Chains A and B, each alone.
Chain A
Amino acid sequence: MELLNHLAVGASVALTWNGLFYCFIGVTLGMFVGVLPGVGPLPAIAMLLPVTFYLDPIQAMIMLSGVYYGGQYGGKTASILLNLPGTAPAAVTCLDGYPMAKQGRADIALFVTTISSFVGSLLGIILVGGFAPLLAKFALSFGAAEYFSLVVLALIGASAMGGSSFARSLSMVFFGLLLGIVGEDVTSGRERFTFGIPQIADRLDLVAVAMGLFGVAEVISTARKSRVHAAEGFSYKVRLPSREDMRRTWKPTLRGAGMGAICGILPGAGATMASFLAYAVERWVSKTPEKFGTGMIEGVTAPEAADNAAAQSSFIPTLTLGIPGSAVMAVMLGALMIHGITPTPRLITDNAELFWGLVVSFLLGNAILLVFNIPMIGIWVRLLQIPYTILYPIILAFICIGVYSINSSVFDIYLVLLFGLMGYGMRLLHLPPAPLILGFILSPMLEQNFRRAMLLSRGSFEVFVERPISAAFLAASALIVLAVLAATVRRALRNRKSIRKPVEV
């Protein structure tokens, strides 16, 4: 079979001592930097870049990509254990991952997410290996109108996120959209709501906002409760997930992986969109959507699978079109091009050794990560054994380091504290932070793509319904709105019949 031949070519490169060595170095480094919230794989890859000029390009790519997807495994650790999201997808993992940890199920959360990360990666790798040239065309089929409609769908689909009422969620989405406006307007080049502060001229830093709303707010509210002991009912042994856990996990994992793999191909969507959509879909198909946000295992496995699948499939536009979907991919593209390797759909045949070597190293690297991450769970969970009085100052220090390291900007540290206070205030008012983050992340995508689509159509709104992909997304959004309205009306009628009871908020 042809595929086996290709894999054999790849194995002949990746399974040499050198190939194994660089793969091992890459994934272990990635695993450790990924755990540090805010630091992540980007600085590590940028620092390794000059070293790779002196390496064989295949080995260089094996190592750099190892750091990247290895980092995807680590990102969930701080989210689940400490409510500290270092990336946008990690913020989704916080929603149900941290409640699971609070219930003493951190080990199970980490275990199932490791498995679902692995499954997600596998699906992404299959897409890269089997269909890369075909899918490259798909990446280009998304223009401004399509991205706009996709964002609309994501916003509407996920508005009910956070386990609170639709109205509260929706108001937080809008608040997030407004916060996302701060900074330079790409279409006109003017600054909005920056008050002359150059540090927010681009926009408010996402990691500062996310770590403030989730992590710092958590530290403040726990400190107020003056709990000095570790979470009760904790087992320090790593338990295996029960059969029930596994039963509830495999479908969300596959759905998440599928969505992530598709979003990863789109350079304008990527892992962020993937994990939010995966979470939203799980809520929609669940029989108990109201329980999301309280430690639902589906709510951690689906986004994690999506995140990893997107990490792998984002290699497709990078390698075949030279279009990197993220800064990490851009660095890797630079590493490739400085060796004179041009990204093209023909890269797979022209540089068969490189391409299939990478694919085989992805398989190998993910297997290494799986084997390494499972025993690490016991060590990570032990972190929670540390009394809060010691752990929380350390967490705050890590937050400051992580936030500072992104832009080397002290201002961002003030920003994370400000958003921490805001997040605490929101908790007191029962306002969910997740929809705010979603609105904040999608705000520039929504606005820029809308205005770009209007510029391109020279002012005609029809462009959004004329293009079939865009029209399909808008139709799906309309259906969701109708479904929510119908459910609300039905509930209102039922409530009128039954005895009046206070409305749940």
Chain B
Amino acid sequence: MLTRRRFQFLAMAAAMIGSLSMGAAHAADWPTKPVHIIVPYSPGGNTDLIARSLAKPLSEKLGQPVVVENKPGAGGTIAASQVAKADPDGYTLLLGDIATHGVDPFVYGNLKYDPQKDFQPIAQITSIPLVLAVGPKVKVDTVKGLIQYAKDNPGQLDYASAGIGSAQQLAFEYFKAKAGIDAVHIPFNGSTPARTAIMSGEVGAIIDGTIVPNVKEGDLKALAVTGDKRTPALPDVPTMQEAGVDGYTFTSWHGLFAPAGTDKAIVQKLNKAVDAILGQPEFVKQFQKLNINLVGGSPEDFSQFIAQESDKLGKLVKQAGIKKR
């Protein structure tokens, strides 16, 4: 007899089978509804700008609207843990960065996600070389000069950063270690106030990616860039290695992520679309003006890159003496 309970069970089973087969259909004709890209920060920063620039051409390629949603909070970890737990159906993506997928696991004690296990990388989007620069307070012209200045004037040099555990802090701590110098860390609440303080001469030095216009204007003196190559935005500024700091490279980066378990077909389709957009010459040129270099490549490349970065950043956090919160 078909009792009510048995009927419920059958109905559920049927629904499950139905959804399974629908899942397969989903992957093949994905996307059939709008795709959401979650930005883990407020509007007004690089991450938001990148997501919004990507959304328009991506929606043209996918034939569905791509919606950018800002979910700021707790250094990007709120958005990242939400996407980690989202349905791996390809409709919820994260625009992650060096914080959410590099530094945060070493800085946040109660992180609710694993950047490598809980996510399926789609593609690396950017690589942003940082710039070592001094403000009007420190009158040196070269990296060697800065190192000498720090050694001659113990306790004098200070540097600004966007906060504890920020890429700027780690990059400078790395520089301190490689150069064998000391400098006082002055943390700010984001990179804008940090930049203001260096321009006014309140703080001595900084390593940051957003200061390129101020360097071009002559408000700040760039001593080196932190990438392994010179950056198109500042072609005359040497790399750290060229300036004599052996083995020093540090870049900030962004990438697109889906929750782990997302169908391979969807990942491939997304990767192809994103990779094609990142290769468009006018897109590349537009971002070069902002000192943002576009990367692209396969999901596997990006996976490997994140693993390497994780090792390096973990060591740097320990070196900098940053405790988990």
Q: Are both chains from one complex?
A: yes
Given contacts A140-B200, A189-B164, A196-B110, contact A338 B184 (CB under 8 A): no
Chain B residue numbers with a CB within 8 Å of A340 are: 289
Chain A residue numbers with a CB within 8 Å of B152 are: none
Given contacts A43-B43, A456-B202, contact A199 B187 (CB under 8 A): no
Chain B residue numbers with a CB within 8 Å of A455 are: 158, 184, 186
Q: Is A495 an interface residue (CB 8 A)?
A: no
Contact A342 B52, beta carbon cutoff 8 Å: no
- Give chain B's interface residue range (CB within 8 Å of chain A): 35 or more
Chain B residue numbers with a CB within 8 Å of A196 are: 110
Chain B residue numbers with a CB within 8 Å of A331 are: 43-44, 48
Contact B73 A202, beta carbon cutoff 8 Å: yes
> What is the CA–CA distance of A339 and B49 in the complex, to the nearest angstrom?
13
Q: Which of A45, A140, A191 contacts B325 (CB 8 A)?
A: A191
The tally of residues in A whose CB lies under 8 Å from a CB in B reads 54
Contact A49 B52, beta carbon cutoff 8 Å: yes
Q: Is B75 an interface residue (CB 8 A)?
A: yes
Given contacts A140-B199, A140-B200, A458-B155, contact A407 B71 (CB under 8 A): yes
> What is the CA–CA distance of A50 and B51 in the complex, to the nearest angstrom?
10
Q: Is A88 an interface residue (CB 8 A)?
A: no
Q: Which of B56, B72, B73, B287 has the most CB of A within 10 A?
A: B73
Task: Give min CB distance, B323 to chain A, whole Å.
Answer: 8
> What is the CA–CA distance of A142 and B42 in the complex, to the nearest angstrom?
26
Chain A residue numbers with a CB within 8 Å of B290 are: 334, 337-338
Task: Give min CB distance, A170 to chain B, whole Å.
Answer: 27
Contact B53 A323, beta carbon cutoff 8 Å: no
> What is the CA–CA distance of A407 and B72 in the complex, to the nearest angstrom?
6
Given contacts A187-B187, A201-B74, contact A323 B155 (CB under 8 A): no
Contact A343 B196, beta carbon cutoff 8 Å: no
Given contacts A189-B107, A198-B73, contact A46 B48 (CB under 8 A): yes
Contact A267 B289, beta carbon cutoff 8 Å: no
Contact B193 A267, beta carbon cutoff 8 Å: yes
Given contacts A143-B197, A323-B192, A342-B216, contact A50 B52 (CB under 8 A): yes
Contact A343 B213, beta carbon cutoff 8 Å: yes
Contact B53 A198, beta carbon cutoff 8 Å: no
Chain A residue numbers with a CB within 8 Å of B75 are: 201
Instruction: Look across to chain A and name the residue whose beta carbon is closest to the beta carbon of B322.
Output: A189
> What is the CA–CA distance of A144 and B195 in the complex, to the nearest angstrom?
13
> What is the CA–CA distance of A322 and B210 in the complex, to the nearest angstrom?
10
Task: Give min CB distance, A104 to chain B, whole Å.
Answer: 39
Q: Is A268 an interface residue (CB 8 A)?
A: yes
Given contacts A198-B74, A267-B192, A407-B71, contact A186 B187 (CB under 8 A): yes
Chain A residue numbers with a CB within 8 Å of B45 are: 330
Chain B residue numbers with a CB within 8 Å of A329 are: 44
Chain B residue numbers with a CB within 8 Å of A184 are: 74, 325
> What is the CA–CA distance of A475 and B79 in the complex, to the nearest angstrom?
46
> What is the CA–CA distance of A408 and B287 in the complex, to the nearest angstrom?
28
> What is the CA–CA distance of A188 and B321 in the complex, to the nearest angstrom?
11
Q: Is B96 an interface residue (CB 8 A)?
A: no
Q: Is A328 an interface residue (CB 8 A)?
A: yes
Q: Which of B189, B200, B213 contacts A322 (CB 8 A)?
A: B213
Task: Give min CB distance, B188 to chain A, whole Å.
Answer: 7
Given contacts A330-B45, A342-B217, contact A202 B72 (CB under 8 A): yes
Chain B residue numbers with a CB within 8 Å of A382 are: none
Task: Give min CB distance, A60 to chain B, whole Å.
Answer: 13
Given contacts A202-B73, A409-B71, contact A448 B286 (CB under 8 A): no
Chain B residue numbers with a CB within 8 Å of A334 are: 44, 46, 49, 290
Contact A408 B163, beta carbon cutoff 8 Å: no
> What is the CA–CA distance of A346 and B104 in the complex, to the nearest angstrom?
40
Chain B residue numbers with a CB within 8 Å of A328 are: 44
Instruction: Look across to chain A and name the residue whose beta carbon is closest to the beta carbon of B200.
Output: A140
Contact B52 A186, beta carbon cutoff 8 Å: no
Chain B residue numbers with a CB within 8 Å of A243 are: none
Contact A268 B193, beta carbon cutoff 8 Å: yes
Contact B325 A189, beta carbon cutoff 8 Å: yes
Chain A residue numbers with a CB within 8 Å of B323 are: 189-190
Given contacts A141-B200, A337-B290, A342-B217, contact A198 B78 (CB under 8 A): yes
Instruction: Look across to chain A and name the residue whose beta carbon is closest to the beta carbon of B197.
Output: A143
Instruction: Look across to chain B and name the residue whose beta carbon is closest to the beta carbon of A42.
Output: B43
Chain A residue numbers with a CB within 8 Å of B53 are: 50, 53, 338
> What is the CA–CA distance of A421 and B195 in the complex, to the nearest angstrom?
41
Q: Is B252 an interface residue (CB 8 A)?
A: no
Contact B73 A327, beta carbon cutoff 8 Å: no
- Contacts A143-B200, A334-B290 supplied; 19 other A-B pairs, CB < 8 Å: A42-B42, A46-B48, A49-B49, A50-B53, A144-B197, A189-B325, A190-B325, A196-B110, A202-B73, A321-B214, A323-B192, A323-B195, A330-B192, A338-B49, A338-B286, A407-B72, A448-B189, A455-B186, A458-B155
Residues of B within 8 A of A (CB): 42-46, 48-49, 52-53, 55-56, 68-75, 77-78, 81, 107, 110, 112, 155, 158, 163-165, 184, 186-189, 192-193, 195-197, 199-200, 202-203, 213-214, 216-217, 219, 286-287, 289-290, 322-323, 325
Q: List 18 A-B contacts (CB under 8 A).
A: A45-B43, A142-B200, A143-B197, A143-B200, A143-B202, A187-B164, A189-B163, A201-B78, A323-B195, A330-B43, A334-B46, A337-B213, A338-B290, A339-B289, A409-B78, A444-B189, A456-B202, A458-B155
A-B pairs, top 5 by smallest CB distance, nearest first, are A189-B164, A330-B44, A46-B43, A201-B74, A140-B200
